[in-house]
A = this chain, B = another copy of it.
């Protein structure tokens, strides 16, 4: 039934192009991210839509990418959470990143000869799939998208780097605080978080696998953050109570992209 409603909405979208774009800018987390570093016109966005094959729904726990796959597609996360991870021989798993709305499944996997990490859905998700060669063709027609892709990849790299710093040099409290602030900022960027609170539908086991802490220790650290009244946790909702203290503790600095420096003539292109 919901399915049907969506279809109807889809048809209406195609009917009125102007409205479609308007809707996207408000709603679509991926477009929200793109608009942060360049201006995309209605024409641009329609070209982008043209290469998006279909909106795909995916159930919780479904594996989206398995290590070793040749994954010639990209998936733009429209809704839901996923984790990118790697399983080691000894059975341990390292979670590399949480994929939030606006993130891209298959980056960097599809740019390598085969995926080096696996991705699994944590909640039910909706994705917009896109063939890699269609995207490449789009980038050739509209170079702006090729640059946008670089910008996205650079943000991913910066995020991984931040994780290296977390795991490498921050104490557990700082580490957790940093992770929470970063996640909040990422969600806020795509309008999926309030001013100081957000839903984080992941288990403590996942967080501990991401932050290189044992589950018991993560739990204690979380309790400590709560005891010091820096955050509040209810169900799977995190509220940042004392942001200044949190930012000081974590030495948090938001990662925000620069705008792509188009020269006047290039912009015309």
Residues of A within 8 A of B (CB): 72, 86, 88-90, 92-94, 96-97, 107-108, 110-113, 116-117, 132-133, 136-137, 139-141, 143-147, 149-158, 160-165, 167-170, 212, 251, 253, 255-258, 260-263, 265-266, 269
**Which residues of chain B have C-beta atoms less than 8 A from A141's C-beta?**
143, 266, 269
Q: Could you pull out 29 A-B pairs where Cβ atoms are within 8 angstroms? A: A86-B161, A86-B165, A88-B165, A88-B169, A89-B251, A92-B169, A96-B161, A96-B165, A107-B157, A108-B157, A110-B258, A112-B158, A112-B257, A113-B258, A116-B158, A116-B161, A116-B253, A116-B255, A133-B261, A136-B147, A137-B265, A141-B269, A146-B147, A149-B150, A153-B156, A160-B160, A160-B164, A167-B167, A167-B212
* A94→B149 contact, CB < 8 A: no
Besides A111-B258, A140-B143, 4 more A-B contacts (Cβ < 8 Å) are: A111-B151, A137-B263, A146-B147, A156-B157
A47 to chain B, nearest CB (A): 13
Copies of this chain in the oligomer:
2
A113 to chain B, nearest CB (A): 5
A-side binding surface: helix, strand, loop or mixed?
Answer: helix
A161 to chain B, nearest CB (A): 5
Partner pick for A88 among B97, B147, B158, B251, CB 8 A cutoff: B251
* B170→A88 contact, CB < 8 A: yes
